[in-house]
């Protein structure tokens, strides 16, 4: 007895990054979301999501350090 055959998910890295970035913004069409569910690998989405969140936090830290380090000119 064999289990159900799961479809092979063939999603590109660019498609995964696009899906993660759209989800960060919070706007996504339902049809595109359904396509992503069918085609993208959840582990790839998780990895790209963690990397994007890390880059976002590091970017905010760099921005704050840059702003605080600037002379006020007063």
pLDDT along the chain (74 residues), means of 10: 64 87 85 86 93 96 89 60
The three-point CA angle 62-65-69 to 5° equals 140
Phi, psi of 37 (to 5 degrees): -60, -40
Spatial distance between the Cα atoms of 64 and 61, rounded to a whole number of angstroms:
5
**In angstroms, what CA-CA distances link 65 with 51, 55, 59, 61?**
21, 15, 10, 6
pLDDT at 58: 95
R_g of the chain computed on alpha carbons: 19
pLDDT at 52: 95
């Amino acid at each position: 007895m064999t289990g159900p055959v799961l479809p092979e998910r063939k999603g590109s890295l660019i498609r995964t990054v696009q899906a993660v970035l759209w989800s960060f913004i919070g706007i996504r069409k339902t049809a595109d979301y359904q396509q992503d569910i069918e085609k993208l690998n959840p582990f790839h989405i998780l990895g790209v999501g963690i990397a994007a969140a890390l880059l976002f936090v590091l970017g905010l830290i760099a921005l704050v350090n840059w702003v605080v380090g600037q002379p006020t000119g007063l």
